[in-house]
């Protein structure tokens, strides 16, 4: 009875994560039922919605009630938008849906951030009260909900799913799901629910009514993706983070500057291995169930420019921001009132969280220059609008990652780099060069810039990035004795870091051929090899489990 209570109750340490044995037991049980009912589409949707809600409950507890409310709300709003699409009433329903979804996201994710900024700016002492918890405790009994506002795991992901669903209905790209469970299944589908990839309704909902198919190659490929994801997460992310990155970045003053520098490059490997490892497993698990999730990473550290990097990194988020923010703002073609309004809003927001009055002086000067160029240089109008839209999109993308001044700065730096690259590529003599040295140099520069910006991504407090850079530049101390001591302490970690980057840079054709070779093995041999590899990985990192980085987003 105690074990049954543990299974069907929420305990944070017992979350159903891809790296835990409990998840795979859960998945085997789900597949056992799925095989029996897969031909009955409605029953299949109801079943998978139910197990997905259970999966979310095991990960986030009572926040499953919030998810359930948002499902019902957005399903009804979707029907209303579909019935009135093209009419003014339809737009009103769409706006209502967007406002409620964004309100939920901002309430749970940014309430403390804005309250603290407001108190700092105006000398007040307001406290955040979780009104939903107050109501919940009145209805379900005192202590049912925590008074503090906690961020529901995956809130950014399922909010973006809901928003894209409503907008696509309004744009007549899809029809509203007539069956509630088809819509609920799309949003809650457990492989992508809590950390992506972000899935479009137009890509997923049509699959719900398709017959289940799984070829021998599909099975082999799915097994390979799951194994690759576990390898990335357990070895190249968790092991390196626990035994090197966290030690150095939590106390950079205790190490020479060059060690801190290596730690940041290692962090670039860690966050890629962590997030792409999760999505690899999500894609593999989904393939075993007969559903296709789109690729989310395409060897991003092979990128030869910042623009190329953002075409390869977290592709589902990049394309979402492009289609639902950048293009509606006018993209690279024209301006809109949205561009002007969001520019002012973002500058006001930056002033609000920093208190830097210099922002308004800078903005005034830039605005004057901007208006003069707009008036006397026609070509500038297109460039200026494109640049502003890019900056807005990347800053919003930074803020999506978290309620932090550092995330905004990180987004702004990447947006500025994209703007500058758009001009540089017009005059660069190396833009179309295929010479191996030029390509290697461009890859190195891109990786170095991305790693530099991630100082603001990794370190949470506003003053920490500059302190970290001070340690790197003033305590470099590159001597043979120091280097040998560092190598002795971290040699296995350094070997893993090099192996991680080298394996990432291998030609894609080699990787595809490896999967093809694996797919030709007899299934019993595949299963034994897979089981042995997993056993070895868990033995190597049995004491180094870390939550997935993107769960916080």
Q: Which residues are known catalytic residues?
A: 401
Residue bearing tokens 């049995």: 542
Nearest to 497 by CA among 513, 486, 510: 486
Q: Is 200 helix (H, G, I), strand (E, B) or coil?
A: coil
CA pair distance 541, 537, nearest whole angstrom: 6
Q: Work out the angle between the directed axes of helices 436-458 and 464-474 (0-180°, nearest 10).
A: 130
Distance between CA 247 and CA 544 in Å, rounded? 13
282 neighbors 550 (Cβ within 8 angstroms): no
Cis omega (within 30 of 0) on the bond before 197?
Answer: yes
d(CA 409, CA 295): 28
* Distance (Å) of CA 487 to CA 89, 250, 268, 475, 490: 67, 19, 20, 17, 5
Residues 290 and 213 sit within 8 Å (Cβ to Cβ):
yes
What is the DSSP code (8-state) at residue 300?
A: G
In this structure, are residues 361 and 352 in contact, taking their beta carbons and an 8 Å threshold?
no
| Crossing angle (nearest 10°) for helices 88-122 and 155-170 | 150
> Helix 180-188 vs helix 201-208: angle between axes, to the nearest 10 degrees?
120
Q: Record the tokens describing residue 294, joined without a space.
A: 């789109």
Query: 242 is written with which tokens?
Result: 């626990």
Number of Cβ within 10 Å of residue 448's Cβ equals: 12
**Residue 23 and residue 29: Cα distance in Å, rounded?**
10
Give the closest residue to 124 by CA, choosing from 134, 132, 114.
Answer: 114
What letters, b where the CB count within 10 A reaches 16 and e where it falls short, cover 25-59? ebbeebeeebeeebeebeebbbbbbebbbbbbbbb
Copy the structure tokens of residue 538.
């868990």
How far is Cα 435 from Cα 308, in angstroms, rounded to an integer? 18
**Is omega for the bond preceding 425 within 30 degrees of 0, making it cis?**
no
- Residue 173: count of CB within 10 angstroms of its CB: 12
What are the angstrom distances between the C-alpha of 435 and each of 163, 165, 304, 444, 447?
A: 44, 44, 12, 14, 18
Q: Where are the alpha helices (DSSP H) in 232-334?
A: 240, 246-250, 257-288, 306-312, 315-321
């Amino acid at each position: 009875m105690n074990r049954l209570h543990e299974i069907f109750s929420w305990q944070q340490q017992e979350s159903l994560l891809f790296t835990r044995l409990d998840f795979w037991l859960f998945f085997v049980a789900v597949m056992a039922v799925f095989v029996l009912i897969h031909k009955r589409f409605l029953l299949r949707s109801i079943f998978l919605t139910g197990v997905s809600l259970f999966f979310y409950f095991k990960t986030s507890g009572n926040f499953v009630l919030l998810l359930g409310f948002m499902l019902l709300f957005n399903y009804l709003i979707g029907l209303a938008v579909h019935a009135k699409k093209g009419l003014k009433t339809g737009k009103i329903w769409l706006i209502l849906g967007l406002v409620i979804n964004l309100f939920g996201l901002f309430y749970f994710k940014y309430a403390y951030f804005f309250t603290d900024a407001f108190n700092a700016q105006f000398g007040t002492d307001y406290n955040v009260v979780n009104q939903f918890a107050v109501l919940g405790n009145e209805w379900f009994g005192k202590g049912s909900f925590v008074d503090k506002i906690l961020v529901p795991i995956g809130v950014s992901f399922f909010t973006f799913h809901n928003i894209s669903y409503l907008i696509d209905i309004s744009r007549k790209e899809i029809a509203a799901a007539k069956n509630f469970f088809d819509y609920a299944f799309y949003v809650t589908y457990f492989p992508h629910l809590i950390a992506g990839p972000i899935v479009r309704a137009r890509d997923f909902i049509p699959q719900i009514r398709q017959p289940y198919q799984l070829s021998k190659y599909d099975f082999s490929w799915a097994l390979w993706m799951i194994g690759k994801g576990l390898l990335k997460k357990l070895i190249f992310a968790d092991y390196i983070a626990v035994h090197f990155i966290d030690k150095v970045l939590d106390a950079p003053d205790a190490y020479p500057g060059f060690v801190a520098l290596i730690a940041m490059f290692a962090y670039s490997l860690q966050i890629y291995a962590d997030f792409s490892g999760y999505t690899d497993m999500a894609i593999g698990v989904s393939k075993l169930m007969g559903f296709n999730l789109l690729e989310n990473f395409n060897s991003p550290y092979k990128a030869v420019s910042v623009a190329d990097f953002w075409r390869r990194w977290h592709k589902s988020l990049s394309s979402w921001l492009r289609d639902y923010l950048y293009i509606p703002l006018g993209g690279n073609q024209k301006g809109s009132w949205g561009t002007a309004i969001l520019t002012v809003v973002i500058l006001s927001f930056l002033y609000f969280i920093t208190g830097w009055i210099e922002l308004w002086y800078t903005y005034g000067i830039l605005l004057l220059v901007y208006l003069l160029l707009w008036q006397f240089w026609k070509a500038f109008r297109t460039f200026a609008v494109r640049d502003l839209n890019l900056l807005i999109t990347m800053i919003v993308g930074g803020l999506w990652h978290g309620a932090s001044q550092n995330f905004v700065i990180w987004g702004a730096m990447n947006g500025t780099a994209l703007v500058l690259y758009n001009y540089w590529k017009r005059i660069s003599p190396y833009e179309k060069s295929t010479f191996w040295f030029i390509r290697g140099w461009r890859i190195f520069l891109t990786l170095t810039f991305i790693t530099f910006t991630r100082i603001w991504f990794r370190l949470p407090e506003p003053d920490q990035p500059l302190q970290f850079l001070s340690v790197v530049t003033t305590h470099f101390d590159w001597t043979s004795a120091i280097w040998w001591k560092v190598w002795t302490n971290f040699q296995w970690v350094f070997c893993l870091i090099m192996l991680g980057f080298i394996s990432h840079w291998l030609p894609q054709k080699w990787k595809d051929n490896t999967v093809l070779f694996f797919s030709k093995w007899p299934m019993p041999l595949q299963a034994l090899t897979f089981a042995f590899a997993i056993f070895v990985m868990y033995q190597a990192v049995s004491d180094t489990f870390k939550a997935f980085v993107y769960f916080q987003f």
